[in-house]
Amino acid sequence: MELFEAIARRHSYRGEYTDAKVSREDLTKIVQAGIQAPSGKNEQTTRFIIVDDPEVLTDLATIIDKPVASTAPALIVCAVDLEPILAGISFGPEDCAAAVENMLLAITDLGYASVWLDGILRFEDKAARVGMRLGVPDSLQVRVILPVGVAVKEGTQKEKLPFDQRAWFNAYGG
């Protein structure tokens, strides 16, 4: 799939997944795409835990408590080092976001579906509970989880505002 096609086809999938497994080869390719993302000062602050063990998936699905997590044959958990690296500033969230977008495009390119789970982790101590279950060091924070699998139903990208309502040359509003 060509890059701009993957960008146009990428969508947030919140439905159920088929029983089809995601190969470790494909999971490795997806995470390698995340590893290739840019990061502030090249500090590479994001770490990735790839979960494909059914028992661990069940435990995480219980914590996440969203239907999309209960049928996913794989999850990619992104943990970030939030330690400041420049003038008291951490680039961890931005580094993670860049990695996640690369992985979402790779997921689309390989014919799988996913959704960026972030907000749900901020409630009921879910990020810490996921981190504890996976042995994530206290110096890192779980920020994003990507369920990965073959979608039961085909999805489409939601309509985006036109270019001229969101982008201009040389000055805001053009």
The pLDDT-based confidence of 8 (bands split at 50, 70, 90) is: confident
The total of structural domains in the chain comes to 1
Q: Is 170 left (phi over 0), alpha (psi -120 to 50) or beta?
A: left
* 22-46 mean pLDDT: 96
pTM of the complete model:
0.93
Contact 18, 112 (CB under 8 A): no
Kindly state the average pLDDT of the residues 136-146.
Answer: 97
Q: What is the pLDDT of residue 154?
A: 85
Q: Is residue 110 domain-resident?
A: yes
pLDDT of amino acid 93: 94
- Tell me whether residue 88 is in a domain: yes
Residue 37 has a pLDDT of 97
CA distance 18 to 5: 24
Its domain, for residue 116, covers 3-153
Is the pLDDT score of 35 beyond 80? yes
Residues 140-164: what's their mean pLDDT?
Answer: 91
Which DSSP letter does residue 78 get?
E
Whether 80 is in a domain gets the answer yes
Residue 4 has pLDDT above 80, yes or no: yes
Confidence grade of residue 11 (pLDDT, cut at 50, 70, 90): confident
The predicted-structure confidence for 82-139, as pLDDT tens digits, reads as follows 888 889 889 999 999 999 999 999 999 999 999 999 999 999 999 999 999 999 999 9
CA distance 114 to 91: 24
Beta bridge partners of 113: 149
Kindly state whether residue 9 falls inside one of the protein's structural domains.
Answer: yes
Which CATH number is 32's domain given? 3.40.109.10
- Per-residue burial over 86-96, b if 16 or more Cβ lie within 10 Å, else e, is eeeebbbbbbb
Q: Is residue 159 one of the residues assigned to a domain?
A: no
52-72 confidence digits (pLDDT tens): 999 999 999 999 999 899 999
Kindly tell me if the per-residue pLDDT of 21 is higher than 80: yes
pLDDT for 47:
97
Spatial contact of 57 and 49, defined as CB atoms under 8 Å apart:
no
In a domain, 171, yes or no: no
Report the candidate in 145, 129, 152, 144 with the shortest Cα–Cα distance to residue 62: 129
- Band the pLDDT of 1: cuts 50, 70, 90: confident
With respect to residue 20, please indicate whether it lies within any of the assigned structural domains. Answer: yes
Residue 10 domain flag: yes
Q: What is the pLDDT, as a whole number, of residue 14?
A: 93
